[in-house]
Amino acid sequence: MITEWNIQSRGHGCEACGKSFSDKEAYHTVLFDEKADFRRSDFCVTCWQEKFSDSRSREGFISCWHGVYAAPPPPHEAIKKETAETLLRKLIELNDPQYMPAGYILAVMLERKRLLKVKEQIVRDGKRIFIYEQPKTGDIFTIPDPDLHLDQLQQVQRDVAALLEHGFNSPAPAAAAVETPAPVGNAAADGSEPPATTEEPVVETKAD
């Protein structure tokens, strides 16, 4: 079964010819579905034009785009406060299904702040999966939609707020009781937003 949420970092060189990317050099990225997982490939402009410009017609093709390579900054030792992005990375690395709703909410928060961009949406086994890119680093985040309901949303928002404030020293996410499931995307015919407080991350779930 595919590992549905993960991070794939931008390569520092062309996968085809092995040439290292220089700062501000253009490159092309292709994402393929290889059944067991998604595979990311980065190519220089020359290799793309000569060998891979027909990627859309190849088996397993999901998406492709181009970007500009930014050389990584020198390492630093400054201690930073937990942010939505660093927390999301930790949750994905932990790979614990109980944190999947919190990871989804964090991804939506980062998208609304324009720190992540949706590159593609796909459906696998009836489940919607979002492919995000972090523009500065080029990292790809694969985030499944947990299909949260209104009676679950506020609890997940509280879990996210606790994780941002206390990290993993906070209690494990609580499973919200489900009485009358109503998908968030179809929760209100008049388009009203789910209730939220100022003390928690306020996130709108994506409509279908």
Chain length of the chain: 208
C-alpha torsion sign, points 155, 161, 165, 168: positive
pLDDT in single tens digits along all 208 residues of the chain = 444 677 888 899 999 999 999 999 999 999 998 877 888 999 999 999 999 999 999 988 999 999 999 988 776 544 445 689 999 999 999 888 899 999 999 999 999 999 999 999 999 888 899 999 999 999 999 999 999 998 899 899 999 998 988 887 666 665 444 343 444 444 444 444 444 443 455 555 554 5
**Angle at alpha carbon of residue 117, lines to 112 and 118, rounded to 5°:** 105
**Cα–Cα distance measured from residue 47 to residue 161, given in angstroms and rounded to the nearest whole number:** 45
**Cα–Cα distance measured from residue 109 to residue 196, given in angstroms and rounded to the nearest whole number:** 14
**Cα–Cα distance measured from residue 104 to residue 156, given in angstroms and rounded to the nearest whole number:** 10
Contact 139, 133 (CB under 8 A): yes
C-alpha torsion sign, points 106, 108, 110, 113: negative
pTM above 0.95, yes or no: no
